[in-house]
Amino acid sequence: MEDRPLSPDATLAERAQDGDTGAFDTLLRRHQDTVYRIALRVLGDAADAADTAQEALITAWRKLPELENTAVFSAWLYRIVTNRALNAVRSRIPAAPIDEGLPTAAPGPEHQSMASQLRGALTRALANLPPGQRACWILRELEGMSYEEIAQIVNATPTAVRGRIHRARTHLVEALRLWR
């Protein structure tokens, strides 16, 4: 088997493992927006998302020496933030709504009212999903990740991820059927 060239993330992760804080800082700048966005979409609260993202990045720095395959750095990092966010969701009742990233209202009071009501219905439907389904749906539909990437992040098989996303979609369709 021939060695493939390392991706820029892999090279930076290896340098960071060797103690190069500048390399880790570059990785943080490259991934911090996605880390925050994942936390925000899972948690639905900007302050909680910022805290969770920061905790995830600190954990990544501490655990970086344990990462054996630096080529999967981004999936490893997204797994850390997803797990932290899911743990936060599980520890609170009721689940917080998710508003970020949803379509904005069209001009005009009638459209604004309808869009606001639809956003509220979608937010409630997402909040009622089990955390595992919610995370998979968010990573697929809002972050555009592949089933394989999601499987690495949530520590499941691609088939299990497909099942979770299917169940989430079924639940959302049922919850939003009045809006069709």
Residue type, 25: D
**Residue 128 to residue 14: CA distance in whole angstroms:** 40
pLDDT band at residue 116 under the 50/70/90 scheme: confident
Per-residue model confidence as pLDDT tens digits over 132-143: 899 999 899 888
**Residue 170 to residue 145: CA distance in whole angstroms:** 19
Q: Among residues of the chain, what percentage have pLDDT more than 70?
A: 82
Q: What is the pTM of this model?
A: 0.65
**Residue 129 to residue 131: CA distance in whole angstroms:** 6
Per-residue model confidence as pLDDT tens digits over 140-168: 988 888 999 899 888 899 999 999 999 99
**All domains in the chain, ordered by first residue:** 1-96 (1.10.1740.10), 104-180 (1.10.10.10)
